[in-house]
Structure 1
Amino acid sequence: MTPHLQRPEPIYLQLVSHYRDAITSGDLREGARLPTVREIADQWEVAYTTAAKAVRQLASDGLVSTSKQGTIVCFLEGSTYSPADRLRSVHRGRVIYPHGASRIISAELIAAPQHVADAMAIETGDQVVRRERVTAHGDVPVTWSVTWMPAGLVEQVPELLEMAPIPGGKGTIGLVQDRTGRFPQIGIDSYRQCASRASALIAERLGIAEGDPILRGENTWPEQDGVVLEFGEFAIPEGQWVTVS
């Protein structure tokens, strides 16, 4: 069956989105070979130059490498997932990190520090879940992150306080959805990120030197009524690509 294109978005970007989704969801794994540019053009019934532009964009995004041997998925060589990709993957019923290994550093109930209370619109000192983790590709740490969630979720989702990766591969928010039916309202979720320097804690977690350059970011995922189900913080070391769908 010939795939159908939506014309309002540039055609090459639709091709990019298709292959990016296949790569970040794990349908196309590291080392997999994409169709040739000619095969992509014929399959999608688009111009050769359009297919070639899509492949160049995938390579620019750090998702594939191109050579005389073809176009090869290389996502794990230097890429990680953005919070937006994580939310969309769970929303689509896919696993978040089909390739990576997530190591839980802490899982506890603590009093919300000021910046977390501000982000979640709660009182400073209110109890919140704090889950800290490091995600690695092989032996290489690629992301440090902390997930903050309302303490009231623990009654239905006690795994939030367990020192083990969430089963099923869909992460904390996916498990919350399965147990409670609650899920962030896509469209009002927010993100921000900036260049920064590694603190002593982040440097230790990522195996880099204190003061090394990093990308720091935050995500805020509220429900329709404004209740924040997750406030997240992350840091990514220099040299890692971040996919943005």
Structure 2
Amino acid sequence: MPELRHVEPKYLQIANHIRDQITNGTLRPGDEVPSERQIAADWSVARPTAARALEALRNQGLVESRQGAGTFVKDQPTARRARERYVRSRQIGRIYAPGEYAVIVSAELVDAPERVVEALRLAPGEQAIRRQRVTHSDTGPVESSVSWLSGELAEMAPLLLVKDRIKIGTIAYVENATGRTAEYASDRVAARLSTDEEAAELGLGDGPHAVLNYRHTVYDTQGNPIEFAESVYPPDRWTFEQDYSVR
């Protein structure tokens, strides 16, 4: 088991560890999660701490308790934030959860829009790689997104311009191709109305519809941007979750 740190309450660290196992596919819908007794033994914590960890997972809608049977992973109909995809990529070499898949709509070299020039710190007029995808689950489309990367990567990482999935994820592929290492990411989230194209991609029908716009920038160890991504999520899908202490 990972060592407990002092920066977060113990129960949240345990809950986040189990959540990562759920989002990376190690624990799948229907699997039983560790019991209070097992968590207490594995993590060397008191039973009330173990109970709070399981309660946090229940509150997030990730697990459900069945009387006399235990606690089990629930089906996950919601799209998850980028953090979980990085966890899956690092641990099991793929970025999508079981039941999810992406269709690459386009992969091309284009003149970078002003917001992309700013996010990637490009020179004015410089080109950028644009990869557009629609992510689906068993229930239909759950995300429409565009990844932007510097056009300078086209030669070193040619698969970025191919309309095929990169199973290990864009960031892991760029790391392997260039030797750069992704260090941290910054997210910005806002609500807005969908465009007609987004409504069609997400199967929302005639619109506009309220959607969540998620802007995500990944930086390397030198603080330089690697990828700027813009994702759009349909209504009624949780795309950002965070647990933290208020004490």
Query: What is the TM-score normalised by the length of structure 1?
Result: 0.87
Aligned to 2:178: 180
CA distance in 2 between partners of 1:202 and 1:156 (Å): 31
- Aligned-residue offset at 1:149: 0.5
Mark the runs of 5 or more structure 2 residues left unpaired by the alignment: 243-247
Aligned to 1:221: 218
- Aligned-residue offset at 1:134: 1.1
The one-letter code of the counterpart of 1:135 is T
Match of 1:202 among 195, 198, 201: 198
Task: Indicate yes or no: 2:45 matched with 1:46.
Answer: yes
Aligned to 2:158: 158
CA distance in 1 between partners of 2:144 and 2:152 (Å): 25
For the residue of structure 1 that corresponds to 2:152, the secondary structure is helix
Aligned to 1:110: 110
Aligned to 2:5: 6
For the residue of structure 2 that corresponds to 1:77, the secondary structure is coil
CA distance in 2 between partners of 1:72 and 1:240 (Å): 21
- Aligned-residue offset at 1:190: 1.2
User: Which 10-residue stretch deviates more, 222-231 or 112-121?
Assistant: 222-231
- Aligned-residue offset at 1:26: 1.4
CA distance in 1 between partners of 2:124 and 2:92 (Å): 34
1:32-181 matches, within 5 Å, as: 32-68=31-67, 69-74=69-74, 76-91=75-90, 94-99=93-98, 100-166=100-166, 169-181=167-179
CA distance in 2 between partners of 1:17 and 1:135 (Å): 24
- Aligned-residue offset at 1:5: 2.8
- Aligned-residue offset at 1:8: 4.1
* Structure 1 residues 154-209: Cα deviation after superposition (integer angstroms, max 9, x where no partner): 2121111111111xx321111111122113232xx211101222221211111114
CA distance in 2 between partners of 1:5 and 1:242 (Å): 27
**Is contact 1:185-1:222 (8 Å) kept?**
yes
The one-letter code of the counterpart of 1:184 is A
For the residue of structure 2 that corresponds to 1:12, the secondary structure is helix
Query: What is the TM-score normalised by the length of structure 2?
Result: 0.86
- Aligned-residue offset at 1:150: 0.9
Over aligned residues, Cα RMSD in angstroms?
2.2
CA distance in 2 between partners of 1:242 and 1:64 (Å): 17
CA distance in 2 between partners of 1:212 and 1:57 (Å): 32
**Is contact 2:122-2:150 (8 Å) kept?**
no
CA distance in 2 between partners of 1:115 and 1:243 (Å): 23
For the residue of structure 2 that corresponds to 1:19, the secondary structure is helix
CA distance in 2 between partners of 1:123 and 1:152 (Å): 12
CA distance in 1 between partners of 2:3 and 2:117 (Å): 45
Q: How many residue pairs align between the two structures?
A: 239
For the residue of structure 2 that corresponds to 1:185, the secondary structure is strand
Change (3 A) 1:66 1:212: farther
- Aligned-residue offset at 1:72: 2.0
Aligned to 1:230: 227
Over the matched positions of the two proteins, sequence identity in percent amounts to 36
